[in-house]
Chains A and B, each alone.
Chain A
Amino acid sequence: DQQVKQNSPSLSVQEGRISILNCDYTNSMFDYFLWYKKYPAEGPTFLISISSIKDKNEDGRFTVFLNKSAKHLSLHIVPSQPGDSAVYFCAAVDDQTGANNLFFGTGTRLTVIP
């Protein structure tokens, strides 16, 4: 029962263009969302997050958009750089419970072509 889904296992983008990674969730109790980036042979590292009270959060080249009615969020990277090539995981949490159980998607492998 996967509560967080990333339906695109891979994405290729030219350097300098925009990368858009998508994520859908099913649990309406989720109120905090995070994106993690993972390089091979390393653990995931936190990238950016958004609370359900917002619909957009921006940090440099990275912007996360949240559409609560559609239970959808997306990560935009612009301009994309070769160093952005990695696997990106979307995660969601029901922050009210305090248990801090993060539910992860299966990841999208982004390849930025120089």
Chain B
Amino acid sequence: DTAVSQTPKYLVTQMGNDKSIKCEQNLGHDTMYWYKQDSKKFLKIMFSYNNKELIINETVPNRFSPKSPDKAHLNLHINSLELGDSAVYFCASNQGLAGRNTGELFFGEGSRLTVL
């Protein structure tokens, strides 16, 4: 059973379209994340949710909107897709505690988004 699963794994779409990537974790973790790995292989955090509440929101265009219906799910919706959005998007989770935690993340397999 996959601990952190994201769908779709591959997504090819035209500029201007709206698309979503879904993520689910069955680890019972409190905190979920979206990371973006760009063409330079730089893995950078986009958002973090703890118990459905947004706790990290890096400098990301507001075309990106995360949605957490419950603590096991964190979906990423992207409006008006641009060429520069092409990347691999990784969902992750961990048992984040208020205060201190180890930082070990469990990652999904990634969703490769290609915008044409």
A101 touches B106 (CB 8 A): no
Chain A 36-47, CB within 8 Å of chain B: the 1/0 string? 100001111110
B4 vs chain A, min Cβ distance (A): 7
B66 within 8 A of A: no
A93 within 8 A of B: yes
B103 touches A102 (CB 8 A): yes
Given contacts A98-B101, A100-B94, A100-B101, whether A107 and B41 have CB atoms under 8 Å apart is yes
A32 within 8 A of B: yes
A41 touches B109 (CB 8 A): yes
| Inter-chain contacts of B40 with A (CB < 8 A) | 106
| Inter-chain contacts of B76 with A (CB < 8 A) | none
A42 to B4, CA, bound (A): 11
Determine the residue in chain B with the shortest Cβ distance to A6: B41
| Inter-chain contacts of A70 with B (CB < 8 A) | none
| Inter-chain contacts of A41 with B (CB < 8 A) | 109-110
B48 touches A99 (CB 8 A): yes
B56 touches A98 (CB 8 A): no
B42 touches A102 (CB 8 A): no
A19 within 8 A of B: no
A16 vs chain B, min Cβ distance (A): 28
B31 within 8 A of A: yes
Determine the residue in chain A with the shortest Cβ distance to B92: A43
| Inter-chain contacts of B96 with A (CB < 8 A) | 98, 100
A49 touches B99 (CB 8 A): no
Determine the residue in chain B with the shortest Cβ distance to A109: B41
- 14 further interface pairs, Cβ-Cβ under 8 Å (given A41-B110, A43-B107, A89-B43): A43-B109, A46-B106, A49-B102, A95-B102, A98-B97, A98-B99, A98-B101, A99-B56, A100-B103, A101-B48, A102-B105, A104-B44, A107-B41, A107-B43
